[in-house]
Structure 1
Amino acid sequence: MRTLWLNLLLSAALATASSQTLAGETRAAQILDRFEHANQWRDHVMIAAHRAGSMQAGKTLYAENSLAAVEGSIAIGAEIVEVDVRRSKDGAFVIMHDSWLDRTTNCKGEVVEYTLAELKKCRLVIEGTGAVTSEPVLTLREMLLTTKDRILINLDNKLEVTDLPGMIAVARDLGMADQVIVKENLWNQARIEAAKAALAQAGGGFQFMPILADDAVHDAAFAGEVDKAFAPRAIELINWRNG
């Protein structure tokens, strides 16, 4: 399992905003400025809350990928919440890390076997304690509405790369594509080309964060290929080999 707080080696890639902000500027816009102009503000490490930030100080306080976790992350000053996106049986984008419901809800079975209406009857569970919350499985739209103008949101695509344009379309409909960072695993040139095609279809105005994991990427030079293809402002590096 990746660590709760995704440091992502962002200390050189992400940094703080100017102390002077424009009147009326949203918090999300201020955070985006830090993200986009990191080299000007090298003293700051941005913090991303993994699975919306269900754990704090080593304790599980909230159900993962829940609105309660998002509110907790915002309250302690996190600048990005990372959430996971899947689809229901009837095609709705929903927020869920696993392909099954057993670990994080009081329902059983595969996410894709439930319609959105059926998923709305499931309640999120706080892992470890087993406490059932009042929160249902969330849609992507519901999650975006909660984060809008308050914090950047990092969408971890648990579907196909071709689903990325649909996710961005939801954010664009809400007028917040610029507050979204989408990420995708990359491991070879074919995957780079597939991601480029999907991002082009999605249109501009959002951020892309490639994921490079050492169980799939064995040549450090591949990072250079990713940089040339996307010029990303951040890359997620996953070290599985050391547990």
Structure 2
Amino acid sequence: MRLAVLVLGLLLSLVTGAASLAPIPPSNRAALIHERLTEANLNRDHVMVVAHRAGWKKGGSTVRAENSFAAIDHAAATGVEMVELDVRRSQDGILVIMHDETLDRTTTCRGKVAEFTLKALRSCQLVVEGSRRVTDEHVFTLEEAMLHARGRILINIDNKLEPEALVEVADLARSLGMTDGVLLKLAVWNAERLQLARDIRRAIGPEIAFMPILADDAVTEAAFVDRTQSALGAPAAELVHWYRDASQPITADGGPLLSPLARATAIRNNAHLWINTYPITDRPEGMVAGGRGDYLALETGRPEDVWGFFVDRGVTIIQTDEPEAVIAWLDAQGLRRPYDLTN
């Protein structure tokens, strides 16, 4: 009898361990999210939330492996609309999920991702940064990530490869029947770069969401935002508002990309404005959000000076390392609407 109980317990533990890596049946939630993404003017009363690196932190501490299935599952369960996943390529040409050029920080392996075959990468277990706790997950492919997320949550692709790799990502999404499951993007800072973005836009097809990343060290006029959004048919523009001056800890007005004219431009193009409030390692807090980052909101108890500041300037998508806290604050302000999953 005792032996039978031990065997049953072992089987249950194996099943539980495998469950975190098994695809979860899709729902219709991703299609509803995609609809809100592509119809900004009908949904400005709802602020969407994107989990940076799929959602790896809580209260400033790393609590799960970044870019992991566990992070995707947690994000979907907590109401996040998109997970940001970083894409690189293995030695044998397979698109895989990994933020860094090397495996050292986030896995049990050492060396450059591009020097490992996919088979070799399968032996690299994901770890929780800081504690170095080894998880039951290994490095996985973009295709596996897309299948795992399918129907439940959108994937925001952070492409660490050449711009043309976005066409390969789009082809993969199309082959999986997930044209409404991904958002692709490219940094645009001048007319030449806009032309490259237009060429890529044509190559990936109009049915896949594609947006520019615009930073205010190069883009200083709302007219360029208008021209870019219009040329690309972009559902959103990801804005980078650089922290520059230590004598002015936080931005006073949001700069040219968050001006009333930029907001009017977004409305004219039926597009969202997107801001990133997550920190960059070894840089000042809120480095890409004019100093108004997640931990100014949390550590000083001033969410209205961070997330509220950007919402007041027309932002309707926030990418964050603290998605649960952002969603809770937005809910309290009446800035979230539930998704009808009954149909």
Shorter-chain TM-score bucket reads 0.7 to 0.9
Aligned 8 A contact 1:51 1:64 in 2: yes
Which segment is superposed worse, 220-229 or 78-87?
Answer: 220-229
Match of 2:106 in 1: 104
Contact 2:30–2:180 (CA under 8 A) maintained in structure 1: no
Letter of the structure 2 residue corresponding to residue 129 of structure 1: S
Question: Which of 12, 16, 30 lines up with 2:32 in the alignment?
Answer: 30
Residue 139 of structure 1 corresponds to 141
CA gap 1:217/1:120 in 2 versus in 1, 3 angstroms: farther
Cα deviation, 1:104-131, whole Å, max 9, x if unaligned, reads 1111121111111111111111112111
Q: Report sequence identity in percent.
A: 50
Greater Rg, structure 1 or structure 2?
A: 2
Shift of 1:230: 1.1
| Aligned mates of 2:43, 2:85 — CA distance in 1 | 26
Structure 2: any 5+ residue segments left out of the alignment?
1-25, 245-286, 288-343
1:214 to partner: Cα distance: 3.4
Partner AA of 2:66 in structure 1: E
CA contact (8 A) 2:27 2:151 kept: no
Bigger relative contact order, structure 1 or 2, given CA contacts below 8 A and separation 6+?
2
Change (3 A) 1:104 1:89: same
Structure 2 contact 229–237 (Cα < 8 Å) conserved? no
CA distance in 2, matches of 1:74, 1:170: 22
Specify the alignment match of 2:51 in structure 1.
49
SS in 2 for 1:30: helix
Write the mapping of 1:80-91 to structure 2, written as runs, cut at 5 A: 80-91=82-93
2:168 maps to what in 1?
Answer: 166
Per the alignment, do residues 103 and 221 of structure 1 end up closer, same or farther by CA in structure 2, a change over 3 Å counting? farther
CA distance in 2 between counterparts of 1:100 and 1:214 reads 30
2:233 aligns with 231
Amino acid at match of 1:236: E
Query: What is the root-mean-square deviation of aligned Cα atoms in Å?
Result: 1.8
Q: In 2 relative to 1, CA 219–114 (structure 1 residues): closer, same or farther, beyond 3 Å?
A: farther
Distance 1:215 1:94 in 2: 31
Per-residue deviation at 1:147? Answer: 0.8
Query: 1:198 and 1:208 mapped to 2: Cα distance?
Result: 9
Deviates more, 1:212-221 or 1:169-178: 212-221
- Paired amino acid for 2:161: L
Letter in 1 for 2:127: V
Residues 25/117 of structure 1: CA separation in 2 closer, same or farther (3 Å cut): closer
Counterpart for residue 181 of structure 1: 183
Aligned to 1:125: 127
1:66 and 1:135 in contact (8 A); partners too: yes
Please give the TM-score of this superposition, normalised by the length of structure 1.
Answer: 0.85
Partner SS, residue 121 of structure 1: coil
Preserved contact between residue 108 and residue 125 of structure 2 (Cα < 8 Å): yes
Measured in 2, the distance between the counterparts of 1:33 and 1:109 equals: 41
Match in the other structure for 2:252: none
Q: How many residues align?
A: 220
Letter in 2 for 1:201: A
The residue that corresponds to 1:78 in the other structure is 80
Q: 1:110 to 1:227 in 2, by over 3 A?
A: same
| Matched residue SS, 1:170 | helix
CA distance in 2, matches of 1:79, 1:175: 19
Contact 1:164 1:199 in 2 (8 A): no
CA distance in 1, matches of 2:99, 2:80: 20
Whichever residue aligns with residue 51 of structure 1, its letter is: R
Deviation for aligned residue 1:163: 0.8
Deviations 1:182-230 (A, max 9, x none): 1111122221111221221222311012111234445554323312321
